[in-house]
Amino acid sequence: MSREPDSFSPQRRAVVGGVALALAAGGAATVPAQETAAAGSDGLPPPAPLADPRALYRKPPFERRSRPWPGLAARMNPPPDHGEESYKGHGRLTGRKALIAGGGSGIGRAAAIAYAREGADVAISYLAAEEDDAQSTADWIRKAGRKAVLLPGDIRNESFCQRLVEDAVKGLGGLDILVNNAGRQKIAGSILDIRTEDFDWTLKTNIYAMFWITKAAVPHLPPGGIIINTSSFTAYDPPENLLDYAATKAAIANLSKCLAKQLAQKGIRVNAVAPGPYWTPLQVCGGQTMEKLESFGGDTPLGRPGQPAEIATVYVDLASTEASYVTGQVYGAAGGRGNP
């Protein structure tokens, strides 16, 4: 199938991306030191222009074309917007050290770019097959003037998860923020179609790895440390063909609330984010049927899928000291679906 024109030009991203970020988090778009906009008389950058959220990014239909697992953002059509040209930082995370599991592409990359532009050094984990995406993410982190630590490997292995945390702590010189974002999503029309090895793959990627990584990270997190887990709107409204995936996302929401109560005595906050339909590699490498991929996000009130850039500030807000009383919460951003 022929490639459609790229509707996400740098100029468009610069105008609409900042607005989308503000809408996703309920706040104003931010500006990094190296990309400061012309300030007004009050010394603040000018606000982003008001824009209709329905028209900020492309709507369905999308092409019916799958990609091999694990999928690469660089090969998606249209390419996702991770905030490469739009996210502006205010230094809200200056000096922080963050580990993002699943940070090579999708929401993880958007969070990594945002964290770097807010002043944090960032380590990312990813599969070896995602090296091209991970290198691109690292380039954006470095362009923001921050340190990037790349840690490839399979998080279904407990010993790797333990090494991942140790290597992140060593490479960053400490750890303040942990984002558990890695996930596996594979459609199956019936429970009879889910093989035990596939069920095990999903649970080890989505639940076991989060448990192992978090368990290894907690001793390194100081008071004020942050854990953010990626749940999903499917935890509240599970599609019939994502039985195992939706079950893990419900477990993540529940685990986050329980862990928040445990770690409050250590001064560590724990929250979860529940994205709706977002345009990421997860969708094009077995996460959707071709029919649903073509209409992806069209059934939301806003009529389109979200872009990773539009949820990045939720991860920033939850990691910032401004959210010091926010723990044990699940934050949704689902294009109007209302969950959670």
Residues designated as active site: 245
CA-closest candidate to residue 53, choices 331, 292, 300 = 300
The b/e string for 285-304 (b: 16+ C-beta within 10 A; e otherwise) is bbbbeeebbeebbbebebeb
Residue 116's H or E segment, with its range, is helix 106-117
Joined tokens for residue 313: 């500030």
CA-closest candidate to residue 168, choices 218, 115, 123, 225 = 123
Tokens 């592409």: give the residue.
Answer: 105
Q: Are strands 269-275 and 148-152 parallel, antiparallel or unpaired?
A: unpaired
**Cα separation, 251 vs 239, whole angstroms:** 16
**Cα separation, 305 vs 340, whole angstroms:** 17
**Cα separation, 262 vs 41, whole angstroms:** 47
Residue 229 has a CB neighbour count (10 Å cut-off) of: 24
